[in-house]
Structure 1
Amino acid sequence: MKTRLQRIIDQFNLKKQADELGVSVWRSPNFLFILMGLIIVLSMLSVYFVSKNSDSLEVFITIEFSLVTVLFAIGSSIIKSVDEIAKLNKMKTEFVSIASHQLKTPLSEISWEAELLTSKLSEGLNEKQKEVIKNITSSNSRMIRLVNDLLDVARIDQGRLPLMKEELDLVNLIGEVVENNRTLSNARNTKVEVANYGKIPKIMGDRRRMTVVLDNIISNSIKYTKEKGTVNIAITPEADKIIVCVKDEGIGISRKEQKDIFKKFFRGINAVRTQTEGTGLGLYIAKNTVVQSGGDMWFDSEENVGSTFCFSLPLKTKDKFYSLRV
C-alpha cells in the first residue's frame, strides 16, 4: 500500500497522470493547477509593486484578497472541468477498445463461416446464393477493418501502439499492397505505376503496421483518382532515410481543409461529395504509425488536380521506437 508521501509525489507526476488520462502533459489537471498557482503568485506580486506606494494598507489588502479569490475560483472551475473532460475521454477510449475487442470474435466467426460456405459447399449453391455470400464476406471485411482501425486509434490515444522490429523490404511490400488493390484499380480502370530511384536498402520496422500505412495511402489514391487516371508511387533512398511518395490524379484537398487532414474522423468535403467510402481514420493511423517508427508524413495537394502523400522512414532506428502522438 502506498504511503501518504508516495501519494503526494504521484500527484505531481505530471507525465504519469497525462498518460493515464490520454492527454498531453500541459493539458493535465495537475499541470494546470501548478500553472494557476504561478499566475496567482505573479498577480499578487504585481498588485504589491503597484500598491506599495499607497498610503492605505486596507485598500492594498482588499485588492489583493479580491484578486486572489477571483483567480482561485476561476482556476478551480477550469481545472475541475478539464479533469472531468479528461476522465470522460479516458472512459470513451476504454469503451471503444473493449467494444472493439468484443466485436472481433463474432466477426471472425462470420468470416470463417462464409469462407467455409464458399470453399466446401459452393457446388450446391445457385448464383444468387453465391452473390449473397460474396456480399456478406465483403461487408464483414469492412467491419473487421473498422474494428481494427478503432482499436489502433484507442492504442494511439493511450500511447500504447505496439510496434515490432523486423527487417523489411519496402519494394516487395509496396508490390504486395498494389497487388492486393488490383481489383479496385481494375474496377476504376486506374493504372498504378511504381518507380525505384536507386538501390533501395532494407529497413527495420513493423511489417503488419507498415502494410496498413501503405494500404491506406495507396487505396485512397486509387479511390480518389478519376477513372482512367494514374497513380504513381516513387521510392527514393537518401543518406539516412527512405522516402515513399504516392501521387494521384484525384479530387484534391481544399486549402482550407489541409490543416485537418491528419485528424481523427476527418473527411474532406470533396470526399463526401463524391460518396467515396471511408471513416476518416486511415491517415490519422498512418501518420502516427510512421512518426512512432521514427519517420514523418506530409502531403501536397491542389483541388481538382490531385494529391501527393509522402512519408519517410529511417534506415537505422534506435533500440526503441518513438512514442509520439500527433
Structure 2
Amino acid sequence: MEESLLDDQEGPDNRSVIETLNRLCSIVEEEPDLHAICNTFRSELSKYCPSEAIELLSYSNDPKELLRIASSTDEPGGSRIRFDDDSSSWIELGKPDALYIFTDVKEAPFFVRDMAEKAGSSSAAIFARRERAGKRTILAVLAKEGYDISSWEKSESLVELLRGSAILLEYCKLISDMNNYRMDFLSLFDLIPIAIIQLDEKGTVKSANNEAELILGSGDPDRGIEEENVFKEESFKKSGIAALVRRALRGEDAEAENIRFRGADGRNRYLFVKLRSIIGSDGKRQIIGILTDVSARIQLQQQLERSYQTLTEAFHELQRADKMKSQFIDVVSHELRTPLTVIRGYLDMISHTRGDSLDPKLAQKLDSISLNTDRLYEIVESMLDSARIEKGAVEVVKQETSLKAMLEEIVASLRGLANEKHQELLLVDVGETGLVQIDTKKMRDALKHIINNAIKYTQDGGKIQVTLTDEGNMIHIMVRDNGIGIPLSEISKIFERFYIVAADELSHQVDRMGLGLPIAKGIIESHGGKIWVESEIGKGTVFHINMPKG
C-alpha cells in the first residue's frame, strides 16, 4: 500500500526540501556523526523514496581509488568499494552535480551494481558532486525492491535535496576529519617531551600539555594548570616567568635560561623558557610558550664543576707533593755526595799508599767497599742529573765528537756485562758518519743508559744490536734487542722518573731505579734530538734516536 502511494508522488516541494535540510543541519550541529546523518537522511528520504541503503562515496583519480565515507548500513567508513575501469571512466566523465537514475541496476556501472546486489536493490539514484582537488563525492540511494524510481528524473526538488544532503554530508565528513586531526594533534601535543603552554592577554593559562602539567603542576589533579594566572601565582612571579610574559605581551623577545622554578610539589626545577606573542583568530593577543626542564643538565654541570674543583685541588696537592719529593731528592743527593766523595778519596789514598802491604782479605773488603761506593756515587749523580733535567737546568757544553767512536767505546765497556748474561752485543759497522756537536760526557751517559737498559731487559742468551746511520742533517741511532718487550700501555711511561716496567722474567734484577731512561731523554732533547720506542711483547724493543749534527 505504501509503495502505491509513493508511486503517485512526484517528490517534495521546495518548502519540504528546506525543512528536511534544516532538520539535517540541526543534527549535524548537535552531533556530526556520519553514520547517524546517513540514517536520518534515509528516514527523511523514505517519505519520497523508500531505500535499502544510503552510501556516501569518495573517488580519487590519482591514485584511482573509491572509498566509502559513510553508510546507513553497518559497513565501516574508509572501506574500499570495488570498481573497474569502466566505472572509473563513468565517474571521471560524468557531469558535475548531476543526478543519474538507474531503474535497472544491470545497466549501471559495476560499482553501483555491486553495492545494489549487496543491499538487495534493483534500482538506484546516483548524485555525483563536482570534482574538487582531484576528488568527487558520490551520494548513492539504493531503492527498495519494487519502487519505481524513474519519477525522480522529473523532480528538480529531489535533485536539490540530494545536492544539499551531499553538501551536508561532505561538511559533516570535514568536521569529523578535523575532530580526528584535533585528537591526533592533542595526542601528539601531550606526547611531546617539551612543555607547551598557551596564555591569553591577561596571563591566564588556556591550554597546557602533559609535560607542562608535570613541570609547572598546580598540585590540583582536578583543575591542573589551566586557568591559573601567571601574574597572580607566586611561583610564576618569583621565578621570573611572569616578567617574561609581560615582555612577550609587549612584543619583545622573551627568552631565558636556567630559570629556577619551585612547583606546587615543592620540587625546584631549572627551566629554559621561550615565549612568543601571536594574534589569535578572535583578534586578541595570545602567548605561546615552550619550557624545557634542564635540571639534569644543570645538576650535571654542577657535579662536573665540583669534580673539577676536587681534581684541581688533588692536582695541586700532587704538584706540591712532587715538588717536595724533588726537593727531598735534591737535598738528600747533595748531602750524600759530600761524604761519598770523602769516602772515595780515602779509599783511593789507602789503595795508592798501602795497597801492596795490605792483608789480602782486608784488600778484598776494601775493593768491595770501593765498588759499592762507586755504585752509590753513580746513583747519587743520576738523581742529581734527573733533578737538573726536571728543572731545565741541564748545562750543555758542545764540542766536535765522533758518535761512532763514542759508541765503540760504550759497547766495549758494556760487553763484559753482556757476557755475564751470555748475550751478544754488537755495533753494526756502517762506515764513517762524521763529527757532531755534542756534550761528550752527557751524551756518553745517555747512550750508555739506553744500551745498559737493553742488556737488563733482555734474557740470558739474547742479542743487542746497535746501529748508526748518517741521514744528512741527522744521525740516526738504533738500539735493538730481542728481549721481553714493553706492553703498549706502558710505553708512554718508561721515560717517567722512577718508573720501572714490571718483568717477572727479570725479577732477580734489583738494581733498577727507573732514572736511566728519563736522564737519557732529557740529555738527548737538550741537544735538540728526539728519542722514541717501538716494542712488541715477547719479540723485543727498538730505541730510536735522532741527533742533529749541528
3-state SS, counterpart of residue 51 of structure 1: strand
CA distance in 1, matches of 2:411, 2:257: 65
Match of 2:523 among 268, 278, 289: 289
Match of 2:514 among 254, 273, 280: 280
Q: Which amino acid aligns with 1:293?
A: H
Match of 2:470 among 217, 227, 237: 237
Which TM-score applies when normalising by structure 2?
0.44
Unaligned runs of 5+ in 2: 1-255, 260-270, 276-286
Residues 168 and 203, structure 1, Cα contact 8 Å, conserved in 2? yes
Q: How does 1:206-225 map to 2 (within 5 A)?
A: 206-225=439-458
1:164 equivalenced with 2:385 (yes/no): no
1:260 — aligned with what? 493
Listed one character per residue, the Cα deviations across residues 205-245 of structure 1 (whole Å, up to 9, x for unaligned) are 21121111111112222333344443221100102200111
CA distance in 1, matches of 2:318, 2:446: 31
Listed one character per residue, the Cα deviations across residues 239-296 of structure 1 (whole Å, up to 9, x for unaligned) are 2200111222333333443332222222222267432231111111112221222111
Residues 454 and 464, structure 2, Cα contact 8 Å, conserved in 1? yes
CA distance in 1, matches of 2:467, 2:407: 10
Check 1:302–1:67 CA distance in 2 against 1; reply closer, same or farther (3 A cut).
closer
Residues 198 and 237, structure 1, Cα contact 8 Å, conserved in 2? no
Check 1:304–1:96 CA distance in 2 against 1; reply closer, same or farther (3 A cut).
same
Match of 1:122 among 327, 349, 355: 355
Check 1:166–1:71 CA distance in 2 against 1; reply closer, same or farther (3 A cut).
same
**Which structure has the highest helix share of the two?**
1
Residues 247 and 308, structure 1, Cα contact 8 Å, conserved in 2? yes
Q: CA RMSD in A?
A: 3.4
Q: How does 1:1-326 map to 2 (within 5 A)?
A: 47=258, 51=272, 53=274, 78-270=311-503, 273-276=506-509, 277-316=511-550
Residues 253 and 270, structure 1, Cα contact 8 Å, conserved in 2? no
CA distance in 1, matches of 2:532, 2:503: 19
Check 1:200–1:79 CA distance in 2 against 1; reply closer, same or farther (3 A cut).
same
Indicate the larger mover: 243-252 or 132-141: 243-252
Check 1:76–1:298 CA distance in 2 against 1; reply closer, same or farther (3 A cut).
closer
CA distance in 1, matches of 2:312, 2:328: 24
Deviation at 1:314, TM superposition (A): 0.9
Which TM-score applies when normalising by structure 1?
0.70
Indicate the larger mover: 299-308 or 137-146: 299-308
CA distance in 2, matches of 1:71, 1:216: 44
Residues 330 and 387, structure 2, Cα contact 8 Å, conserved in 1? yes
Deviation at 1:75, TM superposition (A): 5.6
CA distance in 1, matches of 2:389, 2:354: 41
Q: Which amino acid aligns with 1:296?
A: K
Indicate the larger mover: 141-150 or 235-244: 141-150
- Report how many aligned residue pairs link the two structures: 269
Check 1:133–1:241 CA distance in 2 against 1; reply closer, same or farther (3 A cut).
same
CA distance in 2, matches of 1:221, 1:66: 52
3-state SS, counterpart of residue 123 of structure 1: coil
Check 1:201–1:262 CA distance in 2 against 1; reply closer, same or farther (3 A cut).
same
Residues 244 and 312, structure 1, Cα contact 8 Å, conserved in 2? yes
Q: Which amino acid aligns with 1:312?
A: N
CA distance in 2, matches of 1:197, 1:107: 42
CA distance in 2, matches of 1:278, 1:119: 32
3-state SS, counterpart of residue 426 of structure 2: strand
Deviation at 1:181, TM superposition (A): 2.0
Q: Which amino acid aligns with 2:537?
A: E
CA distance in 2, matches of 1:220, 1:76: 40
Deviation at 1:89, TM superposition (A): 2.2
3-state SS, counterpart of residue 542 of structure 2: strand
Deviation at 1:304, TM superposition (A): 3.5
CA distance in 2, matches of 1:156, 1:245: 23
Q: Which amino acid aligns with 1:259?
A: S
Listed one character per residue, the Cα deviations across residues 143-172 of structure 1 (whole Å, up to 9, x for unaligned) are 112111211222222222222222221111
3-state SS, counterpart of residue 192 of structure 1: strand
More contact order relative to length (CA 8 Å, sep ≥ 6) = 1
Listed one character per residue, the Cα deviations across residues 167-209 of structure 1 (whole Å, up to 9, x for unaligned) are 2211111122223224323433433221232430211121121
Check 1:294–1:126 CA distance in 2 against 1; reply closer, same or farther (3 A cut).
same
CA distance in 2, matches of 1:69, 1:247: 51
Check 1:89–1:274 CA distance in 2 against 1; reply closer, same or farther (3 A cut).
closer
Check 1:201–1:69 CA distance in 2 against 1; reply closer, same or farther (3 A cut).
same
Residues 202 and 315, structure 1, Cα contact 8 Å, conserved in 2? yes
Residues 399 and 438, structure 2, Cα contact 8 Å, conserved in 1? yes
3-state SS, counterpart of residue 274 of structure 2: coil
Deviation at 1:301, TM superposition (A): 2.6
Structure showing greater radius of gyration is 2
3-state SS, counterpart of residue 252 of structure 1: coil
3-state SS, counterpart of residue 53 of structure 1: strand
Check 1:159–1:120 CA distance in 2 against 1; reply closer, same or farther (3 A cut).
same
